[in-house]
Amino acid sequence: MFMKILYKSILWILLFQVTTAQASKEEAMQRLRTYYIEHIDKSYHQTSCVEYLDKLDTSGAFVDGVDYEQEIVAKKLLEKVSFDDQQKLGFYLTDIWGRLGDLAAYFRKSGVEIPERYWKAILHYGTIELKRQPNDRFHASCFAIPKAACKVYFNLWKCMEQIESGCEVTVLEKEAHDILRRLAMQSWTQPLRNDATDCNVVSVERFRHHVWWVGGNALAYRPLLETAVLMDSIPMVDVVAEVAQKSLSYVSQNTYTEAFWNEGFTADGAGWGHGMQALVWGYPIHGASSALNILKVLRGTPWATVLTRDNALALLNFYRGSNFYYYKGYIPPCLDRYSMVYYDKQHQPIPYYNMLKATINNWSDSFTQEEQQELKTLLREAGRESICMTNYPAGMYHGCRWFFNNDDFIKKTPRYHIMVNMASVRCDGLESASNFADEFNIFTNDGVTLMQRNGDEHRKIIGAMDFTALPGITAREGMERLKPITNWRGFCSKYNFAAGATSGKGNGVAAFIFEKMNATSKEKDVPEINPTAFGIKAYKSYFFLGDYMVALGAGVTNLRPELEGNIRTTIEQTALQNEVFLFDGKKRLNLVEKQGLLDCKRKPLWMIQNNGFAYTLLPQYSPIASYSMEIKPNDWLKRNLTNKGKSNLPDSAAIFRLWLDHGRSVQNGNYGYAVYCGEGVPNNKMPFTVLRNDTLVQAVASMDSKIIAASFYCAGENIKIGKKEITVSEPCTLLIEQEEGEIIFSVADARMDKTVKQIVINYDKQRVVVDMPQKERIGAVAVCKKTIEFFRKKQERY
């Protein structure tokens, strides 16, 4: 009897709690409604609104759109529509609904009586939108029009309240109200995913694992919470709150199917957008900042939450890592589809600046005291548009860093910035979109090596650059043969090999096997456009030893010699800003000709741009290079049509180029060059030696052997330095540094093989077993330190 009473009591308590929670959420919904009535977009231009009303006829149609609407009817575009016509229709309706949203704000502010023809317009244009065919609907249907519908609804709340409370209203007003709700819901329904979530849009799964429904495409551009409040739907707010919190996490190749989002923050500290593209500064920030804002709006409601430790660590990881993709107020090109838009010579704060500020202002208590101080210091330096964070460990904000989810190796110091943008089959490239974005992102992931002191050296010349000669790449000449393209996944390499190794300080190594492929062809066959870009293979490594960078190439092969054009490896293509001269190790030699050869066959020569970088050849591989200094015309519209709206576009750009010509029939060729990045002129003698440069191993060591860096393309191969022999158990990049009584081994698995738990390094007759990172950090650098005494004792035993 007692147990029955206890059981019933528990049931009553649980029922009471559920009922109370539900009532609490219902009260909170009213507060959220009040919030959006106050905070919805209320912007408008009075002159424009007066013109809109003048153009709105008694039937609810704008007279300046009548001809196009007749075309819609005549062509039956609401029954069957091509991609181009669907886009045109979307642009048209976006403009119309922008007008209707502005008019709603105008009516609210001015107190002007809402004319009947306005309600007719909502009904008319809402019906057109709702009748559109499902194919190729995106920006207008899921972003712009739902946002405009919310703007109308909340600005005209007094009318909406009368309708919803059962007051006497006209049939037209009620129908308009219903249309607004259906249009707002398109932020949850459009476009179709063609999966189970189409039948259950109010679900967390709706906002996972689909490029249209994650990142900025999920939380930033869709008015999800506004719509949930408009619909007075507690389950919808439940979903938005859960998605917002869980989205503050990261993804990697190894957790792609299980991570909450399969784009956004990446485990290496950078970010993905539109799939596995290194769109660091767009979608990841838009999605995360919107998530933080949603969680802020939900404070004081039953949906309120604090950031979890995982949320906080994901934000910290992004703030630290992504800062490497920013230098002295500038963003390097090749990080989004608007790299070729003229930059107006303007510095800008790091793109996450506002999100960082909001994190500190709203979520500080989610971080430790030390982390709070770190974020405040970062905010101060970000405000100065120069982030150094010198009091923090190398590899965190400065030094060298390997971005294993994005195939990027970056070195960042107060004096210079070097980014090597490589490729593998594991990542996508950089998207292009002819007619509205960059049209030639074809070579951006081919080992592009951007070396900068000021941060804008390549931005200055982007309007005139030869894209087949981007610095660092090996490609077939022929810029004039390229056609503009639309490719939403860019280009990658066919091979599952890309890696970088560094302890975070000034030394490192990066390598990949290059042979270009369209990233879309990983899933399906696609027609080949621009054949001149394909059919080249090379093994490419980059070594960083203090202020020197050494680039080695092996196995350089023209797989399609029937195509016109020589194969070139470009050492540099940068802004010509100062005098260029030669240096023979002792004295400076003036350059007379603007075009010519850098000949290092008989003696070492450096080619130096004053206040820039110094370049030389490794004559055993590349005795001669060509150079040019020229003024080239800018072709801004050919790069990106967005430039059409820019004023004061420069007509030309001064460009310095240095390149190696492999000829048209190169088979298994190689190359080698070095760049000095320090102050003044280079040393008389090279401070390094090349140990191997072939398709099995590429390796370099400092002259004192205290730094050894190698790219092992297969296991079992060796490198010899003095009496030491080094082998590894797996394909990898390896950096060995000797300092202060210890030897530091930094190694990265070049294939991201999740079955590889350890890599064994045989060094100086001793086995060094390095445990490899697992789970989301597969592919990251593993660092193992051994004392020199450890090797001495082993040798004594041996």
CATH code assigned at 493: 2.70.98.10
Closest of 794, 757, 797 to residue 777, by C-alpha:
757
Calculate what percentage of the chain has a pLDDT beyond 90: 90
**Pair 181, 126: CB distance under 8 Å:** no
How do the residues of the chain divide into helix, strand and coil, expressed in percent and rounded to 5? 35, 25, 40
**Pair 422, 445: CB distance under 8 Å:** yes
Buried/exposed code over 5-33 (b: 16+ C-beta within 10 A; e: otherwise) = eeeeeeeeeeeeeeeeeeeebeebbeebb
Cβ neighbours of 267 (radius 10 Å): 26
Give the integer Cα–Cα distance in Å for 263 and 265: 7
The half-sphere exposure of 719 on its side-chain side, counting CA atoms within 13 A, is: 28
| pLDDT score of 16 | 46
| pLDDT score of 6 | 55
Q: What is the mean pLDDT of the chain?
A: 94
Residue that has been written with the tokens 């760049």 in this structure: 675
What digits encode the pLDDT tens for the residues 144-163?
A: 999 999 999 999 999 999 99
Query: Does 223 reside within a domain?
Result: no
What digits encode the pLDDT tens for the residues 635-653?
A: 999 999 999 988 889 999 9
Give the integer Cα–Cα distance in Å for 253 and 272: 11
Averaged pLDDT, 75-80:
96
Q: Which domain holds residue 152?
A: 40-192
User: Is pLDDT of 764 > 90?
Assistant: no
What digits encode the pLDDT tens for the residues 669-722?
A: 999 999 999 999 998 899 999 999 999 999 999 999 999 999 999 999 999 998
| pLDDT score of 723 | 86
| pLDDT score of 109 | 96
What digits encode the pLDDT tens for the residues 538-571?
A: 999 999 999 999 999 999 999 999 999 999 999 9
User: Is pLDDT of 583 > 70?
Assistant: yes
Query: Does 393 reside within a domain?
Result: no
Give the integer Cα–Cα distance in Å for 506 and 410: 11
Indicate the pLDDT class of residue 365, thresholds 50, 70 and 90: very high
Q: What is the DSSP string of 699-741?
A: EEEETTSSEEEEEESSTT-EEEETTEEEEESSSEEEEEEEETT
Averaged pLDDT, 491-509:
98
| pLDDT score of 5 | 60
Residue that has been written with the tokens 């293979």 in this structure: 537
Query: Does 723 reside within a domain?
Result: no
**Span between the terminal Cα atoms of the chain, in Å:** 79
User: Is pLDDT of 15 > 60?
Assistant: no
Indicate the pLDDT class of residue 12, thresholds 50, 70 and 90: low
What digits encode the pLDDT tens for the residues 182-203?
A: 999 999 999 999 999 999 999 9
Domain final residue, candidates 679, 699, 719: 699
Query: Does 144 reside within a domain?
Result: yes
**Pair 686, 600: CB distance under 8 Å:** no
**Pair 226, 41: CB distance under 8 Å:** no
Helix extents (H) in 551-607 = none
How are strands ordered across the β-sheet holding 408-412?
A: 399-403, 408-412, 417-421, 448-452
User: Is pLDDT of 536 > 70?
Assistant: yes
Q: What is the DSSP string of 473-505?
A: -EEE--GGG-----BSS-EEESSS-EEEE--SS
Query: Does 378 reside within a domain?
Result: no
User: Is pLDDT of 795 > 70?
Assistant: no
Domain final residue, candidates 651, 677, 699: 699
CA triplet 433, 323, 463: central angle to 5 degrees?
A: 35
Give the integer Cα–Cα distance in Å for 284 and 265: 6
Q: Measure CA 2 to chain center.
A: 63
Query: Does 740 reside within a domain?
Result: no
Calculate what percentage of the chain has a pLDDT beyond 70: 96
Averaged pLDDT, 259-268:
97
Query: Does 595 reside within a domain?
Result: yes
Residues paired with 655 in a beta bridge? 575, 630
**Pair 87, 140: CB distance under 8 Å:** no
User: Is pLDDT of 793 > 70?
Assistant: no
Closest of 30, 698, 566 to residue 302, by C-alpha:
30
| pLDDT score of 3 | 60
pTM of the model: 0.93
**Mean pLDDT lowest among 18-22, 110-114, 663-667:** 18-22
User: Is pLDDT of 794 > 80?
Assistant: no
Query: Does 483 reside within a domain?
Result: yes
Number of domains in the chain: 2
Domain final residue, candidates 699, 734, 757: 699
